[in-house]
Structure 1
Amino acid sequence: MSTPTDPALDTPPHGPAFTPGPKGLPLVGNLPQFGKDPLAFFELLRSRGDMVRWRFGRNRCVFLADPDRIGELLTETERTFDQPDLGIAFRTVLGNGMLVARGRDWRRKRSLVQPSVRPRQVASYAATMAACAVELADRWSDGQRIDVKREMSTLTQRIAVRTIFGVDTPADTEAMGRAMDVAQLEIGKEFAGLGALLPDWVPTPGRARIRKAAAVIDAEVRRVVARHRDGGEERPDLLSRLLTAVDESGMPLTEEEIRDEAVTLYIGGHETTSTTLVWAWYLLARNPRVREALAEELDRVLGDREPGIEDYARLTYARAVVKETLRLYPAIWLITGIAKEGATIGGRPVEEGTRVWVSQWATHRDPRWFPEPEEFRPERWDAEAGDAIHEYAWFPFGGGPRVCIGTRFAMVESVLLLAVLARRFTLDVDPGEITPLTGLTLQPDRAMTATVRAR
């Protein structure tokens, strides 16, 4: 176990000291505490200090709570910090896509994928986003009872298969969606449980479910890729761009790379937005003042028309609602890096191989950076009237060179979908607290049922 005099972390005495974390157990360290409630555990570490030592099994770890230190990790990734191996469950689903690739391989893949999600391309997908939301709104009626999570998931799945894969049939949406639901749940269980300590070759029921889900995902992607290749015509979807992309040497992505990047984009374009919208409806239902302020802006900016990409910049309060939702319930709730030789944090050397952790959940709810952190207050994002937001105190999409390339896609999608639906309806979410569940994304722990109310 680490101690206050651990030479790997505490000498020489440059910069602030690393604070000892809670005492762990032999072999497993703090994993039982982490596995029981990762979010509460990170808040506990935050209460101990800005740079806290702990153990994930036998792995030496440091947790960072201060935005300046968080910025060091995020901006130094690829130079003095490596992407960690997130485990067999994660690799089974995402393969070696851009999210987990390292070094030269990561730089090559990012250069091939990034052109597909630049602002001009995202703008071209905005009409599809709004159209799918309008189709959903047309099916809702006053007094209807809905499962909010299922409705938002189906909506963003449809947008994902249209914009990423260029297809739109119920079978395309449902098969991929069911498999991804299983995958994200099992990834969370494996990561937070004792399965994280098991060698890859050890069979478990969860790993069997992961492999089965990944097989469905693989088959769906192969089928869609074959359809694109056989069609021959130029398509505007992201998959078509991946199929024609070449690197500096003129080499295209391999079939396996196309599969991995398509799945990575699907998760980024579906899971994160769906989760964000679910939490937004939950927060709006519990904050009538915010709901009324949002409705006022939608009426003023849109009147009786549907939003388009030209409205994104004008919907300042809607954007603030999304940003405040991402503060309180960030879809991606942790980031880790592994120290390379020569790595430092806060001027203090960090031994090679140490895993460094940051948690959006814990930092976004730190009262030092966000007064009244538990309050849902979109006004804090008003550049003129709100509180100054410390850099890297809010980082739902990561930061530095590995910042999520789908950030603009996710923000535009979230704002336009919320605008379409909230202009016509409010959702009265049933009373009762809903607990966030730490999977691949931060999901509600149960169905969120609501009554649709026409405005």
Structure 2
Amino acid sequence: MGRSNEPPRLPDGGFAAWSRDRLALARRGADECGDVWQLEPGVYVAATAGSCEDVLRRAQDFPKAPSPLFPPLKQSDGAPTAEERAHAHAARMRGLRAQAVAARIGEIAPRTARFADRWPAGQCVEVLPPVRHVLAETGLHYLFSEDAPTLLPFASQLFLAREVLIRPSRWVWPRWIPTPARRFRTRQQVAFTNALRPIVRRRRSSGRLGDDLLGQMLRPTSRYGPLPEEAVLDTLPGITVATFETPSRAAGWILLHLARYPRAADRVAAEAALLPADPAATTSTHLDCLPYTQALIREVLRLHPPSWLLTRRATRRTQLAGYTVDAGSTVLVCPYTAHRDAREHPEPDRFEPERWLDDSGSPAKCGAFLSFGTGPHACEGVALAMAMLTLLTAQTARRHHLSEPPGPEPGFEVTTFEGLATVGLRLRATPRG
């Protein structure tokens, strides 16, 4: 007999229904059960804004799963200590904070402009591959500056390893089993690390550490001195892929909305007309003059958060939204349904970028927004991601009208496994007059 205060179970729910249509079942669970509902014994879904934020902010009770996609490589001279990893994270964050990103907008803008410049006029093309390539170029330049072209092929293989590793499978193998996908991941991680190692050593030996994120990590601090080489190398494969993988999924949804809402696209284009003709002259001040563009991006990400489901595990028996959650239980945090909480966002299914602006057209905070997480484990690259997406959106709308292929069926497939994406999305670009 179950506990009287356990979260409610969704009738006809469970893993079988979940595997058929995860988005639909998530909506049903939120609508019929409220804040928290039970998918299977020991597996719960935090479905509304309050319960999602509660889980994400209580990192001690609900820590992030300790299984990174690119775990530290086993080194003959020993892996970095927990303290060294903490220092590496702090150094990485210095390079990703909003002030650091703002100072390098003039480097980001020309690379994101290449997407619009390269789009063949009048042709219907699959957009995610070129988006991913441009954002990979942009992200790697931000991380590694002039060394980015050397590392770009290895980063592309890391992305492929990620895609192979997360591919749905009938079997869930224990983490210690070296499956073919895991061996492929390790080979690509080793190749990336081996390509990066001489760059680190060259910069240190020359004393020219650089002003990019890698330079921030190589710069000694007065308190801790220089980071060990392995502590620098271990932390970079994951963040390298993250700089373009999640933003690429987001960009697919944004471009689709530019095609489906031409009036909104026209308004973005009007803002973008004020950007410098030379993208390299763009500054953070110019980004501040794109409030509607940023509001449109936030609205798209509210409706279609690329990381629509986050996994946490309870470390102890605790309470969540008035229900008891046992130690070891899995809690699925669902920004997708939290963003559709009508208590937070009136008419939550309506696409309305204006909800993120106040009466004067300036940015305004409006309800829950969990597309980049929140709390101790919020996305550390949010400033970089927003800068890349804002510039890509503005420059694309400035140059092109977008449209979907004719026909009654959508020209893409919505996938929900390890992210919400528009796989196979095809759009046509017509130059603006």
In structure 2, the CA distance between the partners of 1:31 and 1:435, relative to structure 1 (3 Å rule), is same
Deviations 1:22-80 (A, max 9, x none): 567xxxxx44443444333322322332211223xxx7122111212222111111x32
- Are positions 1:160 and 2:142 aligned together? no
> 1:118 is matched with which residue: 97, 103, 108?
97
- Read off the aligned partner of 1:125 and give its amino acid letter: R
Q: Structure 2 CA distance, aligned partners of 1:35 and 1:247?
A: 52
Secondary structure, in 3 states, of the residue corresponding to 1:42? helix
Structure-1 residue corresponding to 2:61: 80
TM-score, normalised to structure 2, is 0.84
Where does the alignment leave 5 or more consecutive residues of structure 2 unmatched? 74-79
- Higher mean C-alpha displacement, 288-297 vs 369-378: 369-378
Aligned 8 A contact 2:115 2:131 in 1: no
In structure 2, the CA distance between the partners of 1:380 and 1:135, relative to structure 1 (3 Å rule), is same
In structure 2, the CA distance between the partners of 1:223 and 1:274, relative to structure 1 (3 Å rule), is farther
- Read off the aligned partner of 1:46 and give its amino acid letter: A
Aligned 8 A contact 2:46 2:331 in 1: yes
Which structure 2 residues correspond to residues 10-409 of structure 1 after superposition, within 5 A?
Answer: 10-11=4-5, 18-22=7-11, 30-49=14-33, 50-55=35-40, 60-77=42-59, 79-86=60-67, 90-91=68-69, 93-95=70-72, 108-140=87-119, 142-167=121-146, 172-180=151-159, 182-190=160-168, 193-195=169-171, 197-246=172-221, 248=223, 250=224, 252-299=226-273, 301-302=274-275, 304=277, 306=279, 307-341=282-316, 343-384=318-359, 391=367, 393-409=368-384
| Deviation at residue 109 of structure 1 after TM alignment | 4.5
Q: How many residues align?
A: 420
**Percent of residue pairs identical:** 25
Structure-2 residue corresponding to 1:14: none
Deviations 1:96-131 (A, max 9, x none): 9xxxx9997875544332211222211122111112
TM-score, normalised to structure 1, is 0.81
| Deviation at residue 310 of structure 1 after TM alignment | 0.8
Structure-2 residue corresponding to 1:451: 429
Secondary structure, in 3 states, of the residue corresponding to 1:52? strand
| Deviation at residue 212 of structure 1 after TM alignment | 4.1
Where does the alignment leave 5 or more consecutive residues of structure 1 unmatched? 12-16, 25-29
Q: Structure 1 CA distance, aligned partners of 2:104 and 2:259?
A: 29
Q: Structure 1 CA distance, aligned partners of 2:336 and 2:387?
A: 22
> RMSD of the alignment, in Å?
3.3
| Deviation at residue 351 of structure 1 after TM alignment | 1.6
- Higher mean C-alpha displacement, 117-126 vs 138-147: 138-147
Q: Structure 2 CA distance, aligned partners of 1:292 and 1:256?
A: 49
Secondary structure, in 3 states, of the residue corresponding to 1:427? strand
| Deviation at residue 280 of structure 1 after TM alignment | 0.8
- Higher mean C-alpha displacement, 412-421 vs 303-312: 303-312
Q: Structure 2 CA distance, aligned partners of 1:35 and 1:207?
A: 24
